[in-house]
Structure 1
Amino acid sequence: MTPVGRGAPRVTLYSRPGCHLCDEARLVVEQVCAELGEAYTEVDVDGDAALARRYGEEVPVTFVDGRQHDFWRVDPTRLRAALGGPGASGGA
């Protein structure tokens, strides 16, 4: 795990090297977390056999506050809302 940002990470991005969807998701997560002052962590599913079995076909997978939020693509508006950012209307 690689924590990025300040405080305890609220967002976890499960990914793997060489995954173009993971690269796109990382950019969205980085942008939204930086905008809101939130921390995130990234986990390489290939580093753990159980994670590779569980998420291998769905990466990238994002979790917010310990709950699965998205897979394959990360929508910045939904992520912002889940984190209670500007424009959030009652949560995700």
Structure 2
Amino acid sequence: MLASGAALDPSAELWIHELKGTGDLDPHEQNCHRYVSGIEDEAICYAADSLALLRKEVMRRATALKALPPDLCPDKKVTRQIADKRSLVL
């Protein structure tokens, strides 16, 4: 249910890594930016690559948030208003 809600949010990137390999979330594959299902070495490597990408993205976003003016982002958190500003890529 959570994945279905996220899939409907145009500002969300859906990354699903279903590593038990039963395919429960296969219907979401077409909506995902990154998707893998399985416990094979290839699936585990893909998930590990995703974690490396996620770390890099978190660091990029943290830097971007710190650079925003206090009147736009007083709490240093991404709000819907900030996320809707496509130029910020948050």
TM-score by length of 1: 0.28
TM-score by length of 2: 0.28
- The structure whose residues are more often strand, as a share, is 1
- The structure whose residues are more often helix, as a share, is 2
Q: Which protein shows a greater Rg?
A: 2
